[in-house]
Amino acid sequence: MSAQTTHIVGSSPIRKEGVAKVLGRAQYIDDIALPNMWFGATVRSTIPRGRITSITFDPAIPWHEFTIVTAADVPGENTIVHIAKDHLCLASTHVNHPNEPILLLAHPDRAVLPAAVAAVHITYDPLPAVFTIDQAEAPDAPAIWGDPDAPEKNLFKSYLMRSGNESQLDAIFAAADHIVTGEYRTGAQEQLYIENNGIIAEYSATHGVTVRGAMQCPFYVVHALQLVFNLPAEQCRVIQTETGGAFGGKEDFPSVIAAHAALLAMKSGHPVKICYDRAEDLAATTKRHPSRTRIRTAVSKDGKLLGGDIAFCLDGGAYLTLSATVLSRGTIHAAGPYRWPALRVSGKAYATNLPPHGAFRGFGAPQSIFATERHMDRIAHALGITPEDVRRRNLLAPGDRTATGQLVPQSGPDTVDMQHLLTRALTESDYHAKQARFQKENPTSPIKRGIGFATFFHGSGFTGSGERRLNSLVEIELTPTGQPQILVSSTEFGQGTNTILCQIAAETLHLPYDFILIAQPDTKHVPNSGPTVASRTAMIVGKLVERAAQSLVQSLITSGHLPHHYSADDFRHAALAYLAQHGPLKASVRYQSPGDIVWDDDNYKGEAYPAYAWAVYVAEVAVDTTTYAATCTNFYALQEVGKVLHPILAAGQIEGGVAQGIGFALYEKCVWQQGHMANNQMTNYIMPTSADLPPIHVAFEEIPSIHGPFGAKGIGELPMDGPAPAILNAIEDATRIPFNEIPLLPEDIFQRMTANGHTSGDPCVPEATA
């Protein structure tokens, strides 16, 4: 496919719901009140693991005013289903993490709930617990999840990805010029959407459950409610309200809070709202999986990768939730955009007694890419060549295959020239000159400056055969006003779903952008276009919208109502005439797997994703040897993302993702005490403010993909992957100290710099290379 000339796609119209947002009129869940609505609250465990021995209610509280729900009130299965059914809706006999829900309360007055929650006293018989990957995998670890006699305890899921001459790895390592090893760790990270999780639920015996609230994936919630209430899908209606940020944090968790609110609604006979405050949201909801990656590489003396053995591990928290799929994406992305003659990646996700970790932008890839990109610099330093050299000698080129065997086309759509991207990024960031200047100035300056980069890719859409399984459906209908209205379950939470899908429909239909409508995601009215995750909306759902629009216009043309060339007025008249003559018109299209996308789930071979976005990110840092604070002072983000549908939204996605990546690297630390997040406040969980961030320079290259509408690919998660390794590479450039664990806070830098015998004014000496 060659680049098409477009008018609406590629321009930057005003965001569809933008006027309501700037006026403050957009209705988020906590802005909505239903008649006779009550408020719900959750009584949670205070220990990481144990048997519940008693529950008592303080007589000072007038309990008759409250509705109280326990596991015994669950009409269906007491489970929140994601991948498996291990995750309880309400704990009854045992708890497996702090802040696990045990009991629910509802009352007409929101203000009385905190005291009531505190007046429910629960005692436990504690059991031994584990809090880290290292503890969970230890031979003498208590079995906290799964079969206690399994060969590997506490293991949620494992993958083994073998690539190239993997069976010859031992011989390759034995014969290699260099063996470079490293260990890399990343911490839990909070999504920190500014709107906390919240749901309002209603129940009626005839209509079943209706919930509305902040969420990414309405049909995930339907699926979860069906089990909890033992109801058919038609009696579990889910409506997404305006959602104040999500980033993965409203992918799986809304199923929990929706089930809780609905249980209270059923028992109380009132609509019930549960909106968490910040402390509860931070303590009880999902975070990014902490990771530990060990990499061993065989390298030739000129810096070519000969073989690799990567052990990628995630801490999944107490229940499986989405850990298997997070692990899958992380495992595949561990290979990075490189040629590996032989590679083994072992991925393992472990159970711990922390609250379940879940989806967060990047979904495992930021963790493994951090490790791989730090390791590429480690190889360079071990061999005495530059980080650029080591990339140049190993980057995938047209005609090469990724570690799963996916071909990078020689030319045309979906190819990429990473050498060119690297050259452009280093040139436009003035990398070489800055590096030389910093090296000259650093010895006499208390501020050590450095520059580093990361080269990486991110797959768009569900991994492997996921899109085939999702089998998404998209519809476009004609409204009574003769306008096309898009019907999808794909949700808007800031990233621009409403806008880009309307642009795609407008471009396809040759109609003005303002003429296109998009329905509120309400599972009673919209089809299941899949979850709004995995950088899939623009590419996968967008392509379906394009096809549905083509089908709609074809119906109007073949029925004789619309000429081949038409104006917006012609369209409206044709639509109204069609509706009058034939009744409603709805064009439906279902996902069709492209013939050349083949994935082998057992062996992790084939087309892992329909397409990848490719990027080179360059970071500049300043490390103050008086305060030991590291600051990112300049950032350059170059990416190839296929056709850019909306330049302002796209740049906004990159800038926002880079900001979260900077937070991941330098600011955001979850402090765990016996599995409880001790810093569950915005006061001491620190995200970057407007005064903390550097200038972020964003540049796009656009090689169209055959898989997306007008050549578009996914970009939502990509910018989360590159900042952390680029920044840590820059810090090593500045300090000559390899830091391999994030978040990297001033106290960590202080410890390493002073432990190495440095004082603030002394020049740093390179650590011995591996």
Partner 1 sequence: MTQITLTINGQPRTIEAPPLKRLLDVLREDLHLTGAKEGCGEGECGSCSVLLNGELVNSCLVPILQAEGAHITTIEGIASNEKLHPIQQCFLEQGGAQCGICTPGMILATHHLLEKYPQPNLLQIQEGLAGNLCRCTGYTRIFQAVQQASKTPGTNSVPSPI
**CB of residue 634 vs partner 1: minimum separation in angstroms?**
13
CB contact set of 212 (below 8 Å; sequence gap of 6+): 29, 32, 199, 200, 238, 239, 240, 241
Angle between helices 647-666 and 723-735 (to 10 degrees): 50
Q: How many residues bind partner 1 (CB under 8 A)?
A: 55
690 binds partner 1, rule: CB under 8 A? yes
Beta partners for residue 705, in sequence order: none
Footprint of partner 1 on 640-669 (CB under 8 A): 648-649, 651-652, 655-660
The alpha carbon of 100 is separated from its chain's Cα centroid by a whole number of angstroms, namely 23
Q: Please, are residues 715 and 653 in contact by the beta-carbon 8 Å criterion?
A: yes
- Pick from 495, 528, 537, 634: which binds partner 1 (CB under 8 A)? 495
Which position has the token pair 């296109």? Answer: 516
- Comparing CA positions, the residue from 322, 453, 29, 400 lying closest to residue 199 is 29
68 binds partner 1, rule: CB under 8 A? no
110 or 573, CB closer to partner 1? 110
687 binds partner 1, rule: CB under 8 A? yes
- Pick from 108, 146, 245, 512: which binds partner 1 (CB under 8 A)? 245
Phi, psi (rounded to 5 degrees) for 83 = -100, -40
Stretch of residues binding partner 1 (CB under 8 A), selected from 72-80, 322-330, 586-594, 692-700: 692-700
619 membership: H or E segment, kind and range: strand 611-624
Stretch of residues binding partner 1 (CB under 8 A), selected from 19-27, 334-342, 545-553, 566-574: 19-27
Stretch of residues binding partner 1 (CB under 8 A), selected from 152-160, 193-201, 311-319, 701-709: 193-201
Supply 83's token pair: 């991948």
The amino acid occupying position 590 is R
100 or 281, CB closer to partner 1? 281
**CB of residue 677 vs partner 1: minimum separation in angstroms?**
15
Stretch of residues binding partner 1 (CB under 8 A), selected from 44-52, 188-196, 449-457, 750-758: 188-196
- Tally of helices (H runs) and strands (E runs) in the chain: 20, 28
689 binds partner 1, rule: CB under 8 A? yes
The amino acid occupying position 489 is S
Stretch of residues binding partner 1 (CB under 8 A), selected from 215-223, 231-239, 290-298, 690-698: 690-698
514 binds partner 1, rule: CB under 8 A? no
104 or 637, CB closer to partner 1? 637
**CB of residue 194 vs partner 1: minimum separation in angstroms?**
5
Beta strands in 377-495 (DSSP E): 447-460, 473-478, 484-487
**CB of residue 371 vs partner 1: minimum separation in angstroms?**
24
**CB of residue 32 vs partner 1: minimum separation in angstroms?**
9
- Go through the chain and tell me how many residues it has: 770
Torsion sign (Cα): 417, 418, 419, 424: positive
Stretch of residues binding partner 1 (CB under 8 A), selected from 81-89, 170-178, 332-340, 691-699: 691-699
Buried b (16+ CB within 10 A) or exposed e, 642-659: bbbbbeebbbbbbbbbbb
188 binds partner 1, rule: CB under 8 A? no
Q: What is the DSSP letter of 111?
A: G
3-state SS assignment for residue 181: strand
Beta partners for residue 68, in sequence order: 105
Angle between helices 365-383 and 323-333 (to 10 degrees): 30
Which ranges in 640-739 belong to alpha helices (H)?
647-666, 718-721, 723-735
Beta strands in 262-411 (DSSP E): 272-275, 291-299, 305-315, 342-350
372 or 660, CB closer to partner 1? 660
| Dist. CA 523–CA 526, nearest whole Å | 5
| Dist. CA 215–CA 58, nearest whole Å | 35
27 or 673, CB closer to partner 1? 27
**CB of residue 23 vs partner 1: minimum separation in angstroms?**
6
Which position has the token pair 């509706």? Answer: 579
| Dist. CA 133–CA 349, nearest whole Å | 8
683 binds partner 1, rule: CB under 8 A? yes
**CB of residue 683 vs partner 1: minimum separation in angstroms?**
6
Stretch of residues binding partner 1 (CB under 8 A), selected from 22-30, 121-129, 150-158, 407-415: 22-30
- Pick from 22, 138, 160, 433: which binds partner 1 (CB under 8 A)? 22
334 binds partner 1, rule: CB under 8 A? no
27 or 56, CB closer to partner 1? 27
**CB of residue 241 vs partner 1: minimum separation in angstroms?**
12
682 binds partner 1, rule: CB under 8 A? yes
196 or 402, CB closer to partner 1? 196
| Dist. CA 134–CA 87, nearest whole Å | 23
638 binds partner 1, rule: CB under 8 A? no
Footprint of partner 1 on 437-476 (CB under 8 A): none
Q: Between the CA atoms of 31, 32, 38 and 41, what dihedral angle is there, to the nearest 10 degrees?
A: -50
- Comparing CA positions, the residue from 56, 196, 47, 186 lying closest to residue 125 is 47
Q: Please, are residues 667 and 701 in contact by the beta-carbon 8 Å criterion?
A: no
Q: Are strands 517-518 and 484-487 parallel, antiparallel or unpaired?
A: parallel
Give the x/- contact pattern for partner 1 in 25-44, rule: CB under 8 A: xxxx-xx-------------
93 binds partner 1, rule: CB under 8 A? no
Stretch of residues binding partner 1 (CB under 8 A), selected from 75-83, 449-457, 619-627, 687-695: 687-695
Stretch of residues binding partner 1 (CB under 8 A), selected from 11-19, 64-72, 563-571, 753-761: 11-19
28 or 750, CB closer to partner 1? 28
- Pick from 42, 45, 79, 243: which binds partner 1 (CB under 8 A)? 243
Task: Work out the angle at residue 431's Cα, subtended by the Cα atoms of residues 644 and 742, and round it to the nearest 5 degrees.
Answer: 80
Phi, psi (rounded to 5 degrees) for 94 = -130, 155
- Pick from 55, 138, 194, 678: which binds partner 1 (CB under 8 A)? 194
- Comparing CA positions, the residue from 277, 338, 280, 271 lying closest to residue 310 is 338
20 or 150, CB closer to partner 1? 20
274 or 651, CB closer to partner 1? 651
Footprint of partner 1 on 601-620 (CB under 8 A): none
21 or 121, CB closer to partner 1? 21
693 binds partner 1, rule: CB under 8 A? yes
582 binds partner 1, rule: CB under 8 A? no
Stretch of residues binding partner 1 (CB under 8 A), selected from 222-230, 412-420, 537-545, 679-687: 679-687
206 binds partner 1, rule: CB under 8 A? no
17 or 77, CB closer to partner 1? 17
Q: Please, are residues 272 and 200 in contact by the beta-carbon 8 Å criterion?
A: yes
Q: Are strands 630-640 and 696-701 parallel, antiparallel or unpaired?
A: parallel
3-state SS assignment for residue 18: helix
The neighbour count for residue 699, using CB atoms within 10 Å, is: 17
- Pick from 2, 5, 23, 232: which binds partner 1 (CB under 8 A)? 23
**CB of residue 602 vs partner 1: minimum separation in angstroms?**
39
| Dist. CA 249–CA 660, nearest whole Å | 14
Footprint of partner 1 on 246-305 (CB under 8 A): 246-247, 277-278
Task: Work out the angle at residue 36's Cα, subtended by the Cα atoms of residues 33 and 101, and round it to the nearest 5 degrees.
Answer: 75
496 binds partner 1, rule: CB under 8 A? yes
Stretch of residues binding partner 1 (CB under 8 A), selected from 63-71, 81-89, 165-173, 693-701: 693-701
| Dist. CA 66–CA 80, nearest whole Å | 25
Q: By CB under 8 A, name the binding residues for partner 1.
A: 12, 14-15, 17-28, 30-31, 191-196, 242-247, 277-278, 493-496, 648-649, 651-652, 655-660, 681-683, 687, 689-691, 693, 695-696
